[in-house]
Amino acid sequence: MTTSSELGELAVVTGASTGIGAATARALAGRGFHVLAGVRREQDADAIRAPGVEPLILDITEPDHIQALTSRVNDDPQGRPVRALVNNAAVQANVPIEVFAIDEWRRMFEVNLFGQVAVIQALLPALMRSRGRVINISSVGGKIAMAGYGPYAATKFALEAVSDSLRREMAPFGVGVVVIEPGAVRTEMLGRAIATGGALVSAMTPAQSRGYGALVHAVNAQAVASTQSGVPAGAAAAVIVKAVTARKPRTRYTVGREAAMIRWLPFLPDRTLDRIFAAALRPHFPKEDERHPAVPV
């Protein structure tokens, strides 16, 4: 049920073309918000446009796009306050650290961290006026960093740190900061991550291919198996809507049973975690590589 406090308020969702972002935009519109849905292409805008969902072309690494978003929020023709910023835009690639080119590292941080911070900085004055909320979409990769996930996990660990500092800084101003940590969610993101990783891996040297080829295969096979049994994007959207609308939201929410279990693993000793992750990855290696050095026994 839509409450009177939700009617006539704005919500901003970045990365709303597909998956969790699109599901969240539609779910918030269903609760009575007017959603400014950030997408990167006109065809994505056409796909998501609906009552209560207003698509905006938004690449969070482009300052002009962020300025346009800020102007749209501040100059809303109906004077509606902004209730929430949902920072969902992200990219992923499952690639070993050695073979992930430094320019690709920078691009991933530009999207997954610096772009998020840029949008937060731009909209904080409006959120402070409305005593709104910042909802940062992290990942279980913001708590643990498995083999093949180093670059992506690095950005999410950083986003978690930013979120903690921001929450403490914003408390006196009445702005809530909430982190969402999804586990396996059935979205298009995994397919893009595998395709991106595959292109990068294809450029590996012969020595790197011998060293990491089986590992990359296992990481992607494990990711596919996990995602197939994951929750739908709508389940993640429901958690995000709760974080936006709850009178006293928690500081963190997990999405899916897997995420709820994984969040406690960092309390185990490092070597114990190494063995747990190695054992979980071992069944996904090609048969001839069961004794691969990356998977100790």
Strand partners for 57: 39
Q: Tell me, yes or no, if 152 is annotated catalytic.
A: yes
| Residue in 149, 152, 212, 253 annotated catalytic | 152
Question: How far apart, in Å, are the Cα atoms of 76 and each of 69, 73, 118, 269?
Answer: 11, 5, 20, 51
Q: For the chain, how big is the Rg over CA atoms in Å?
A: 20
Parallel/antiparallel/unpaired status of strands 185-186 and 176-182: unpaired
Beta strands, E only, the chain: 10-13, 34-39, 53-57, 82-87, 133-137, 176-182, 185-186, 231-232, 252-255
- Measure the CA–CA gap between 125 and 230, rounded to whole angstroms: 37
Rounded to a whole number of angstroms, the distance between the first and last alpha carbons of the chain is 53
Question: How far apart, in Å, are the Cα atoms of 215 and each of 34, 211, 228, 247?
Answer: 45, 8, 20, 45
User: Amino acid identity of 242?
Assistant: K
Cα atoms in the 13 Å half-sphere on the side-chain side of 281: 25
Residues 6+ apart with CB under 8 A from 242: 249, 253
Catalytic amino acids? 152
